[in-house]
A = this chain, B = another copy of it.
Amino acid sequence: MSEIDDRLKALGLELPAPRPPAGAYTPVVIDGNIAYTSGTVAIENNEPASVGRLGAELTVEDGKQSARGACLRSLGTLAVAIGGLDRVERVLKVTGYVRAVPEFTDLPPVLDGASELLIQVFGEAGRSARTTVGVAALPRGASVELDMVVRLRGS
């Protein structure tokens, strides 16, 4: 069993199975030892797990769970694409898009739901550069979408 699988198990986490992309794109592109992931939202029972806007229907804690769910799903997709998360050498960049009303300002704690998961799973190699912005709309009304750029170990 792999080191990362052990850690996921200890955290009580299961990687969601990849889903088909929502359009004419691919969930992950691998270019040499860099993986680019597509924008991902948390999904439950084929629906976005969290729908709504921060600062209106949703609290920061709701958003944090949504970011964590999006990140976990992204890791599930990445794991299949690269043959297991032990190949992750470093998460280089996370860009997080939070569906929010214009008055909402408390964006970084929302994305910490994703970043804290990455650090739990990969240790300091999961501590990435990050950009967080509040957007008007997201696919299917989801509250958080994120993508990543990841350095892989040589294959």
Chain A residues engaging chain B, CB cutoff 8 angstroms? 21-29, 31, 36-39, 53-55, 90, 92-95, 97-109, 111-112, 115-116, 118-119, 127-141, 145, 147, 149, 151
Contacts and interface: CB of A to CB of B under 8 A. Distances in A.
Given A29-B92, A129-B38, A129-B147, A105 B135 contact: no
B23 A97 contact: no
B112 A29 contact: no
A102 B136 contact: yes
B29 A90 contact: yes
Contact of A102 (B39, B108, B137): B137
Contacts of A145: 131, 133
B92 A129 contact: no
Contacts of A94: 25
B138 A107 contact: yes
B90 A129 contact: no
Nearest to A53: B102
A107 B31 contact: no
A23 B115 CA distance: 8
A154 to B, nearest CB: 13
Contacts of A102: 53, 99, 101, 136-137
A141 B151 CA distance: 32
A136 to B, nearest CB: 5
A24 B112 contact: yes
Nearest to A54: B137
Contact of A136 (B31, B93, B135): B135
